[in-house]
Amino acid sequence: MILRKYQDEQDGATVYQEELIDHYEHKSNKSLIKAKCTEELVALKLTPKFLGGPKKFFLQFQNIYLDLENTTESTISDEEKIRTLNAALQDPRFTATRTSVETVALQTRHPIVYDSYLQALESQAQSMSTASAYERQSNSTNSQRGRGGGGSHASGGYGGDRGDGRQKGKCRK
């Protein structure tokens, strides 16, 4: 229908401004987007096994709220975002950060600011990924020095480099 109306004009900008924006920002489409964002927020849970890790979780969480705010053309309160974020935080590694932020808020009698709270959680996620990267590097270095579980079956090891880039061991498929 839109194509037929503008087929002779060859003016994509006009079609975009007059028709496509109206169509895709129609109230019923906004309601669908709002419902989808709400559904995604309810389903989004940060557990220790969250695929992509905490950094990806926090990015997804923020993007869903940005979509929701853009669709509703309103700002969602810090209290609501924090309540939703706390319900989604099911990773015990973030309990200490959460508790310390809540304690400071109680002691100072100031409400928790969403951006500050999120920044504290993201900082912890960053330090966790840095520590994890350090552990991987340390394990790799130990393995190269013969202390990381390599070696032959005769010496009790399960892995080890054969010299041709392949690994030997019981679990190799």
Q: What would the mean pLDDT of 165-171 be, rounded to a whole number?
A: 40
pTM of the model: 0.63
pLDDT digits (tens, 9 = 90+) for 90-147: 999 999 999 999 999 999 999 999 999 999 999 999 988 776 655 666 665 555 555 5
Find the angle CA(130)-CA(94)-CA(98) to the nearest 5 degrees.
125
CA distance 41 to 72: 15
Residue 152 Ramachandran class (φ > 0 left, ψ -120 to 50 alpha, else beta)? beta
33 pLDDT band, cuts 50/70/90, is: confident
pLDDT digits (tens, 9 = 90+) for 69-83: 988 889 999 999 999
DSSP 76: P
Q: What would the mean pLDDT of 27-40 be, rounded to a whole number?
A: 86
Beta-bridge partner residues of 167: 161
Residue indicated by tokens 């489409």: 29
Given a cut of 60, is residue 63 above it in pLDDT? yes
Decide if 83 contacts 42 (C-beta within 8 A): no
Instruction: For residue 52, give the nearest of 91, 98, 96, 97 by alpha carbon.
Output: 91
Residue indicated by tokens 């927020």: 41
pLDDT, position 24: 62
6 pLDDT band, cuts 50/70/90, is: low
